[in-house]
Structure 1
Amino acid sequence: MSEKGCIKCGSRDAGTKEVAMTGTGLSKMFDVQKNTFTVVYCKKCGYSEFYNKKTSTASNVLDFFFGG
């Protein structure tokens, strides 16, 4: 069984960041950052995937990123 890596370049060197974004309507007008995401990115090529923080945990987002 081969090891999986980034779908763009094959690298297994990934990082994560937490980001917040505004929604629509009043939250956008008042710049309320109500949507939070975990971003998993390849440190080699920069390919990134966003995961809804409410439905994803830090322990499984890397598995999703690497196709596990």
Structure 2
Amino acid sequence: MPYKCPKCENTTYEIGEMRATGGTLSKIFDVQNKKFSSVTCKKCTYTEFYKTKTSALSNIFDFFTS
């Protein structure tokens, strides 16, 4: 079933990704251990975020590259 915007019922969209910090230690060390996928309607720009899993390897990589 294709995506349909809940606001305007458009069926064209863009998919993106966002990372964010979660707790105090991750903020201190600037580690983005929360990952979200986004779906944005191309017509009205309504955006929904969905939490996705992050791997320990990507968290370690973030730590050393920040």
TM-score by length of 1: 0.66
Q: After the TM superposition, which segments of 4 or more aligned residues of structure 1 sit over 2 Å from their partners?
A: none
Alpha-carbon distance change, 33 to 4 in structure 1, aligned in 2, over 3 angstroms? closer
The count of aligned residue pairs is 52
**CA displacement 1:39-58 (0-9 Å, x = unmatched):** 1111111111111112xxxx
Structure 1 unpaired stretches of 5+:
55-68
* Cα deviation, residue 4, structure 1: 6.8
- Identical pairs, percent: 46
Larger Rg: 2
* Pairwise CA RMSD: 1.7
Alpha-carbon distance change, 15 to 8 in structure 1, aligned in 2, over 3 angstroms? same
Partner of 1:25: 24
2:8 is the counterpart of 1:9: yes
Higher share in helix = 2
Structure 2 unpaired stretches of 5+:
54-66
